[in-house]
Amino acid sequence: MSITLPKQLPAPHDLYLQSGNPQVVGAWPLNPEHGAVYITPTMVGRESERWKAMPVEARIGQLDRRIDLLQDVGKVASVHIDSLKEELTTDSLTGLKNRRAFMTSLLEHVSEKQGHFAISFVDLDRFKQVNDTQGHAAGDSLLVMIADRAQKEVHVREGDEIFRLGGDEFAVLIGTQSTGNDRRKQRPEGETIAGFEKRIVAEVEQAAQECGAPFVSASIGTARHLLGETAEQLLARVDEAMYADKRARKVVA
């Protein structure tokens, strides 16, 4: 099927779908309430004459209705697209942003905030035991509680972001500046990366205690972005820092 603009059609009907059927020359939206209808060459001529004989006010009214219809369709499509984007970038279990959103945000920071941010990876230790001994529902409840505490209790600043990468893995994108608009989200003044990591681990362990899984803890590794460093290079350093922490604490999965 091809789209052409036939000369015999009046201006408001300038979109014309040429059909392969020689007896049916197109699909013409004669009435937006009824949708497109198939028309013959005779019908084209008859409708053209009807349009020419129509008063100017009536023509304007029809055009306005068609414009309103197109605008309504556009609004619905825009809402649907926004909803789809949100769904694609949000973890359905915890409500945190997901891995896709993390990579998008990371690449933006590498491009725009060279050397002015850091990344932390958080990997839950012995989380598998929760699923094995208490069931997956218990494991899901623990993940939700950790996400909630991370957002509300860790005092992540405005501009910082928390993500669930998948399974029992989380990431925190740490900015170096704060707007000061939200006092609850201010990180303690002068806090070091080591101090930040300890608070993250403490929140994980507290959530695990409340969920009846006191054996769960977290390994965490953080690295600041270096000038000229690629996203892949930064992620490799963060990953190594996280596993170094796991080895130092002699964690057994």
Sign of the alpha-carbon torsion through 238, 202, 215, 162: negative
Quick: pLDDT tens for 104-155.
Answer: 999 999 998 877 899 999 999 999 999 999 999 999 999 999 999 888 766 5
Per DSSP, 157 falls in state P
Using an 8 Å Cβ cutoff, are 152 and 100 in contact? no
**Amino acid 24: pLDDT:** 41
Cα–Cα distance, 35 to 84 (Å, whole number): 26
User: What torsion, rounded to 10 degrees, do the Cα atoms 160, 165, 168, 171 define?
Assistant: -30
Q: Is 168 a catalytic residue?
A: yes
84 with 109, same domain: the answer is no
190 with 171, same domain: the answer is yes
Last residue of a domain, which of 32, 63, 88? 88
pLDDT band at 55 (very low <50, low <70, confident <90, very high): low
**Structural domain boundaries, residue 231:** 99-248
Which strands, in side-by-side order, build the sheet including 117-125? 161-166, 169-175, 117-125, 217-224
In a domain, 93, yes or no: no
Domain total of the chain: 2
Q: Which alpha helices (H) appear in 127-230, and where do they start and end?
A: 127-134, 136-152, 193-210
In a domain, 253, yes or no: no
Residue that has been written with the tokens 């941010």 in this structure: 117
Higher model confidence: residue 15 or residue 71?
71
| Burial track 122-140 (b if 16+ CB lie within 10 A, e otherwise) | bbbbbbeebeeeeeeeebe
Q: Of these residues, 160, 168, 182, 239, which one is catalytic?
A: 168
166 with 197, same domain: the answer is yes
**Amino acid 51: pLDDT:** 58
In a domain, 8, yes or no: yes
